[in-house]
Amino acid sequence: MRRDIVLRVIAKLLIPFMLLFALYVQFHGDLGPGGGFQAGVIIAASIIFYTIIFGLPEARRLLPEWIVETMVASGVLIYAGVGVLGILLGGNYLDYFVLDHDPVHGQHRGIFWIEVGVAVTVSGVMLKIFYMFAGRRRDEDNG
Amino acid sequence: MTLEHLPALQVVLPLISAPLIVLVRRRWFAWALAVLVSWISLAIAVTLFLEVGRTGVITYAIGNWPPPWGIEYRVDALNSFVLVLVSFTAAVVAPYARISIAAELPREQAYLLFAMFCLCLAGLLGITITGDMFNIFVFLEIASLSTYVMIALGQRRKALVAAYQYLIMGTIGATFYVIGIGLLYLMTGTLNIADLAGRLRDVGEIRPLLAAFAFITVGIGLKLALFPLHQWLPNAYAFAPSVVTAFLSATATKVSVYVLIRFYFTIFGTSILFAALPTDEVLLVLSIAGIVTASLVAVFQQDLKRMFAYSSVAQIGYITLGLSLANEAGLTGSIVHLLNHGVTKGAIFLLIGGIALRCGAVTFDRLRGIGRRMPLTAFGLVIGGLSLVGIPGTAGFITKWYLVLAAIERGYWWLVAVIVASSLIALGYVWRFVEAAYLSPPDERSVKQGEAPASMLGFAWVLVIACVYFGLDTSFSVGAAREAAVLLIGGAR
Amino acid sequence: MSLASHYSYWVTIFLMIAGLYIVIARGNLVKKLIGLGIFQTSVYLLYIAPGKLIGGTAPIVAEGFRTYSNPLPHVLILTAIVVGVATLALGLAIVVRIREAYGTIEEDEILAQDRREEEQV
């Protein structure tokens, strides 16, 4: 599909907007449908779109395996880190009230960072699953 | 990080170690972190147990949202006991795992198994410690998904089929559970267990409650391998890596039993249980059917792991038998069997792991003459088998004692006969092992192999000694179980 | 209590039974996973449909509104959806490995291969 000029041009036009839309969904989670999981899936979808048009080796050059695996683990650590930060600042685990100078801003900050963690992990997991499935050796008989 | 955050740290520390293991992919680091985190979890669980004994119920509000709006971690006499059981099993199994996993898994995959082990531990501890119904579902699925992965890492291709079958049945079970708690939430408006117990009194319509009760029973029954929902267990235990079988047999089903006890006695209370629905009779019939048929099937197995897997189904039948009798002795017997069966089966499967390492397979034809070549392993297996039968001096006897007391208290003399008869059937399959190990000429293929490695044997024998210890000194096991039983029966309406 | 006003519950029950039937009756491993997904979808509907209160608006504090829909079922179901996705991904990964190990994803053929292997030992 890399040879088809229409597909290539459309892909190059659309993918930045898909990523931008993912960021919009990510930060709009507390005012409308959205949040970390949905944003992560849209990010992964845009990279998968790129992979379908330009091929798996290209995508592996863009986002090597070790980056994807690091994304999976570090998102969880960001989430847990926010929780531990709550303990260190004097509250309970995953306490957002103590994260800023007043409780409401603390809630904002806490929710922001855990959603970042969720988005990183979810996009990493979706990409890793896609890499695994797409990278499997194709059988001779596609039965 | 003072003592007051221990309930949160109990779950968070294993949870954090899983992504850390994935980041650093080295095998030695994965094993070392798994061992460290399981020992720290044991220390936290013991501290919580002693604290609950001193001061009563410990509650901890996650996110500082007061219950019932927020998620609450609530430690009382029952779940502190289960916490100690789960973390003790993990603390013994994790150091054992180094040589066993090195032999059974390819080098690149070892860190994945240890990451899943930490996640499973976090999930099991989370199920036990949380006081929120939906949080139980989340941790239940965390534990279950990591279990499916661990089973699928087994050596033979049948492990994949076993993991798939367990995945289907386990997910159906978890979804039934979610339906049940959905109905409870719709009727009462709360997800907090303690709050729910209070609000159930004021609910007008009883039919959704009965439906919720039925869904939760079937859902958790699938997870704890209640007969006839046990079909996934023999394959899953037989084809998983030895370490995984040992860990699961001692913890996964026990924690599901804990959830059932929590729902039956803390939330629903005896009024709905035994007045509106014939729960005790149904549980009684299913338990006896499970005990008898699973024990009989175990006698005819050719594979040692499969045989003891069926034995697990039978032993779970004993636990639910105590539940169905619903008096203090029965409940004490059930709760103490969580620990007794946990250490017994853990010891047995850890020793079988040593046999798998030395002999290559664990079928009866390979085991002939093992009593001479691996004396400590075979003797440990004999002790474990005696505990399964219920010989005085072993942990299994204590359980059978309390179950018999409970049966007599209810006037079910025929049940006493059934318990004794099933113990004789257990003697049947234990005798098969003794005959193969001690009374048969050695198998030519594995004549040169010696005893299992010292580290593996040492940790397996920790559990064997625990098996005998809890049969002789019951102050911890029965004391904690009786306290939990009194708390549950007293709290029930 | 008419059929029309409770149609969401009827759809829930239909999806639940359809999903369970597919899991039990179909021998293809991927079809079983699809049935599992349908079964889980019915549970999402069971939670979310009663969450919308009659006359309630979106659960964001705004002037002029007094009744808000219940946001808690949405949170619970987001979690349940993620769990369902993880289960589906894991199930499909296991099916891919089974296909490579056995050459088929039909349950009967897999069981037949296992039985033949056992008889040879």
Q: Could you tell me the pLDDT band of residue B1, with boundaries at 50, 70 and 90?
A: very low
The residue among C41, A93, C16, A4 whose CA lies nearest residue B62 is A93
pLDDT digits (tens, 9 = 90+) for B333-376: 999 999 999 999 999 999 999 888 888 788 888 888 888 888 88
For residue B230, CA distances in Å to B171, B227, B316 come to: 14, 5, 10
Burial of C60 (0-12, 13-18, 19+ CB in 10 A): exposed
Q: Could you tell me the pLDDT band of residue B274, with boundaries at 50, 70 and 90?
A: low
Buried b (16+ CB within 10 A) or exposed e, B297-326: bbbebeebbbbbbbbbbbbbbbbbbbbbbb
The interface predicted TM-score (ipTM) is: 0.94
- In angstroms, the first-to-last Cα distance of chain B is 39
Q: Could you tell me the pLDDT band of residue B12, with boundaries at 50, 70 and 90?
A: very high
What per-residue confidence (pLDDT) applies to B261? 92
Q: Could you tell me the pLDDT band of residue B439, with boundaries at 50, 70 and 90?
A: confident
Which chain A residue lies closest to C74 (C-alpha atoms)?
A33
No. of helices (H) and no. of strands (E), chain C: 4, 0
Whether residue A66 lies within 8 A of chain C, CB to CB, comes out as: no
Which chain C residue lies closest to B363 (C-alpha atoms)?
C121
Tokens of A131: 């890499």
What per-residue confidence (pLDDT) applies to A142? 45
Chain B hits for C114, CB-CB cut-off 8 Å, are: 158, 161
Q: How many domains does chain C have?
A: 1
The residue among C117, B19, B125 whose CA lies nearest residue A75 is B19
Q: What's chain A's average pLDDT?
A: 88
Chain B hits for C91, CB-CB cut-off 8 Å, are: 164, 167-168
B266 phi and psi angles, rounded to 5 deg: -85, -40
pLDDT digits (tens, 9 = 90+) for B165-220: 999 999 999 999 999 999 999 988 899 998 888 888 788 778 888 899 999 999 99
Domain assignment of residue C2, yes or no = no
CB contact under 8 A, B179 and C91: no
Domain limits for position C68: 7-120
The lowest-confidence range among B297-301, B359-363, B385-389, C78-82 is B359-363
Domain assignment of residue C1, yes or no = no
Collapsed DSSP state (helix, strand, coil) of residue A35? coil
CB contact under 8 A, C83 and B138: yes
Among the partner residues C46, C50, C90, nearest to B145 by beta-carbon distance? C90
Which chain B residue lies closest to A107 (C-alpha atoms)?
B63
Whether C95 contacts B161, CB under 8 Å: no
* Chains in contact with B, counting 3 or more C-beta pairs less than 8 Å apart as contact: A, C
For residue B250, CA distances in Å to B92, B193, B222, B275 come to: 11, 26, 17, 33
Residue B440 backbone class (left: φ over 0; alpha: ψ -120 to 50; beta: rest): beta
Q: Could you tell me the pLDDT band of residue A141, with boundaries at 50, 70 and 90?
A: very low
Q: What percent of chain C has pLDDT over 90?
A: 60
pTM of model > 0.90: yes
The lowest-confidence range among A131-140, B75-84, B102-111, B234-243 is A131-140
Whether residue C114 lies within 8 A of chain B, CB to CB, comes out as: yes
Q: Could you tell me the pLDDT band of residue A82, with boundaries at 50, 70 and 90?
A: very high
More confident residue, B441 or A140: B441
- To the nearest whole angstrom, how far is the Cα of A10 from the nearest Cα of chain C? 29
Collapsed DSSP state (helix, strand, coil) of residue C104? coil
What per-residue confidence (pLDDT) applies to B493? 39
Whether B83 contacts B126, CB under 8 Å: no
Q: Could you tell me the pLDDT band of residue A1, with boundaries at 50, 70 and 90?
A: low
Which chain C residue lies closest to A139 (C-alpha atoms)?
C100
What per-residue confidence (pLDDT) applies to B252? 92
Whether residue C78 lies within 8 A of chain B, CB to CB, comes out as: no
Half-sphere exposure of A103 (CA within 13 A, CB side): 6
Number of Cβ pairs < 8 A linking chain B and chain C: 66
Chain C hits for A35, CB-CB cut-off 8 Å, are: 78
Angle at C82 between CA C80 and CA C83, to 5 degrees: 65
**pLDDT of A111 higher than 80:** yes
**pLDDT of B283 higher than 60:** yes
- To the nearest whole angstrom, how far is the Cα of A101 from the nearest Cα of chain C? 23
Whether residue C76 lies within 8 A of chain B, CB to CB, comes out as: yes
Which chain B residue lies closest to A86 (C-alpha atoms)?
B63
**pLDDT of B485 higher than 90:** no
Tokens of B286: 């299913």
Residues 6+ apart with CB under 8 A from B152: B159, B160, B163, B164, C94, C97
Which residues 11-50 on chain C approach chain B with CB closer than 8 angstroms? 16, 20, 23, 29, 32-33, 36, 39-40, 43, 46-47, 50
Which chain C residue lies closest to B181 (C-alpha atoms)?
C47
CATH of the domain at C18: 1.10.287.3510
Rounded Cα distance, A32 and B428, in Å: 64
The residue among B275, B270, B341 whose CA lies nearest residue B308 is B341
Whether residue C101 lies within 8 A of chain A, CB to CB, comes out as: no
Q: What percent of chain B has pLDDT over 90?
A: 60
Tokens of B218: 């079937």
Which residues 71-130 on chain A approach chain C with CB closer than 8 angstroms? 125, 129
CB contact under 8 A, A136 and C93: no
Rg (C-alpha) for chain B, rounded Å, is 21
Task: Identify each DSSP E strand in A1-143 by its residue range.
Answer: none
